[in-house]
């Protein structure tokens, strides 16, 4: 089951419609050759909204990356102290965009599953590969 949160997706959809509306407003301004105050205000407010949505998405991703690094350091520190990775119940994560799964009892799966999800694109995740110690980005359609 794919679990994702739509906060950023809503912002992406609104941004898409704002860009379309801005294109229409610009074309109307250019074709009519009359600059109406309401059209200019619409353009300015749309640009401000787009900047806000992009800045918020950037901030949310930056905050999630920071929180993920903190949790990853805790997981690695636990592994270094005990010789094994912590169970999912041991690591408490209060963020919706960060997930950690591991079961020490399962001998088939020797690596934890740890990822963070992009804010604006819930179908893209950054998974940490514990074997290679690298982040891998993958997106589903």
CA distances from 115 to 19, 34, 81, 118, 133 (A): 31, 52, 22, 10, 13
CA 74 to chain centre: 21
Q: Could you list the pLDDT tens digit for every one of the 141 residues in the chain?
A: 344 455 666 777 788 888 888 888 888 878 877 777 877 888 888 889 888 888 888 888 899 899 999 999 999 999 999 988 888 877 778 777 888 888 766 556 678 889 898 887 778 889 999 889 899 998 886
Whether the model clears a pTM of 0.85, i.e. scores above it, the answer is no
pLDDT, residue 120, reads 78
Category of 77 on φ-ψ map: left (φ > 0), alpha (ψ -120 to 50) or beta? alpha
β partners of residue 100 = 114
């Amino acid at each position: 089951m794919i679990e994702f949160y739509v906060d950023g997706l809503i912002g992406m959809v609104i941004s898409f419609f704002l860009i379309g509306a801005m294109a229409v407003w610009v074309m109307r301004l250019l074709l009519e050759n009359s600059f109406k105050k309401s059209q200019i205000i619409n353009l300015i407010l749309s640009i401000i909204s787009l900047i806000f949505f992009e800045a918020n998405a950037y901030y949310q991703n930056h905050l999630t990356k920071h929180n993920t690094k903190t949790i990853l350091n805790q997981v690695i520190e636990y592994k270094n102290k005990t010789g094994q990775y912590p169970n999912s119940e041991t690591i408490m994560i209060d963020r919706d965009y960060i997930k950690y799964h591991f079961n020490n009892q399962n001998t088939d799966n020797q690596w934890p599953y740890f990822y963070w999800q992009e804010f604006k694109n819930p179908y893209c995740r950054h998974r940490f590969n514990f074997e290679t110690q690298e982040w891998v980005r993958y997106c589903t359609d």
